[in-house]
């Protein structure tokens, strides 16, 4: 088997659904005993009077978590498909398996829009 280039690998990942990609990441972590987590922020120590000044990081990435489908499950599935580009089966499985994240690591504006759309369809949503 020929070795794939980085561009070829990225092209393969683009064709995967979010659920398939998530399963791949878990399998990768298990196989190579690694964690695909973001690097921890560095704390900077100040020299003013011996007190340590900690870097305060403002949260700029949010997860939109579906906590319940409500009474209009079909409408919620439609909104999930619009937000994620999942197929019908994947979106239905996500809605049936609540609580589950619909979007991960999105900006505040996108998280608020997604929450508003999902709640408009009758779903219960948390932004973390």
Give the per-residue pLDDT at 58: 60
What pLDDT, in 10s, does the model give residues 32-85?
887 765 544 555 544 444 444 444 456 778 888 888 888 888 888 888 888 887
pLDDT at 20 > cutoff 70: yes
Residue 68 host element (H or E): strand 62-68
Of 57, 53, 63, which is closest to residue 104 (Cα–Cα)? 63
As given in the structure block, the two tokens for residue 67 are 């906590």
Averaged pLDDT for residues 100-112: 85
- Mean per-residue pLDDT over the chain, rounded: 78
pTM over 0.85: no
61 close to 111: Cβ distance less than 8 angstroms = no
Spatial distance between the Cα atoms of 83 and 113, rounded to a whole number of angstroms: 10
What pLDDT, in 10s, does the model give residues 56-71?
456 778 888 888 888 8
């Amino acid at each position: 088997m020929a070795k794939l280039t980085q561009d070829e690998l990225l092209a393969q990942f683009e064709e995967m659904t979010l659920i398939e990609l998530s399963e791949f990441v878990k399998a990768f972590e298990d196989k190579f005993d690694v964690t695909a987590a973001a690097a921890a922020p560095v704390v900077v120590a100040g020299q003013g009077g011996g007190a340590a000044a900690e870097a305060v990081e403002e949260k700029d990435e949010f997860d939109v978590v579906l906590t319940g489908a409500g009474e209009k499950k079909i409408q919620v599935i439609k909104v999930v498909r619009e937000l994620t580009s999942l197929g019908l089966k994947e979106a239905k499985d996500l809605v049936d398996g609540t609580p589950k994240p619909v979007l991960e690591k999105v900006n505040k504006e996108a998280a608020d829009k997604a929450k508003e759309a999902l709640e408009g369809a009758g779903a219960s949503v948390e932004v973390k």
